[in-house]
């Protein structure tokens, strides 16, 4: 994914007018892209764990109706081991519970990363390509009329694809 950036230093909220001592537009875009990728990775991992938990649920539901002394096979660390349903079922339920906790943790991290990303977007006035064009023009025309919180905006607006 290529990132396009444009420096719009003609905002009325700029007090310095010159080059700021903060990060350049390219650095802002790179950091923003990195943060977005981290959030995508968390979402991907959460989805993967969700699928694994669903598989565990399916196996658990299937094994509940089976005789406890019946032998079954379980893949442990790449090795297929022979066990009984009575031995495997509690281990599967425990593993499913652990996966559930991991998913909960990943979702919490993802929400935290989303808040961090939003704060970063607001701090550097980042707009995504394809985001409401009219909305972006309204924001630049009236810098304090929005319900976004009305904090001081950065002088440089960054456009990210």
Give the closest residue to 8 by CA, choosing from 153, 161, 131: 153
Distances in Å between the Cα of 79 and the Cα atoms of 36, 40, 73, 96 are: 37, 32, 10, 20
Q: Which DSSP state fits 69? A: T
pTM of this prediction exceeds 0.85: no
Measure the CA–CA gap between 67 and 87, rounded to whole angstroms: 12
Domain 25-124: which CATH number of 1.10.510.10, 3.10.310.10, 1.10.287.370, 1.10.3720.10: 1.10.287.370
What would the pLDDT profile of 7-46 be if each residue is shown by its tens digit? Answer: 444 444 444 444 456 789 899 999 999 999 999 999 999 9
What would the pLDDT profile of 70-109 be if each residue is shown by its tens digit? Answer: 999 999 899 999 999 999 999 999 999 999 999 999 999 9
Long-range contacts of 60-63 (CB under 8 A, 24+ apart): 60/89, 60/92, 60/93, 60/96, 63/88, 63/89, 63/92
């Amino acid at each position: 994914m290529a990132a396009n950036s444009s420096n719009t230093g003609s905002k009325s909220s700029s007090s310095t007018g010159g080059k700021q001592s903060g990060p350049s537009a390219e650095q802002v875009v790179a950091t923003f892209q990195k943060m977005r990728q981290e959030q995508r990775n968390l979402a991907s991992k959460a989805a993967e764990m969700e699928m694994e938990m669903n598989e565990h649920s399916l196996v658990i539901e299937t094994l509940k109706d089976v005789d406890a002394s019946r032998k079954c096979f379980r893949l442990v660390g790449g090795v297929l081991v022979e066990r009984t349903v009575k031995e495997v079922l509690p281990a599967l339920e425990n593993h499913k519970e652990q996966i559930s906790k991991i998913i909960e943790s990943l979702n919490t991290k993802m929400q935290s990363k989303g808040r961090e990303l939003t704060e970063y977007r607001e701090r550097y006035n980042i707009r995504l390509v394809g985001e409401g064009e009219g909305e972006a023009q309204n924001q630049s025309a009236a810098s304090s009329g929005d319900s976004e919180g009305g904090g001081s905006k950065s002088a440089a607006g960054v456009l990210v694809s």
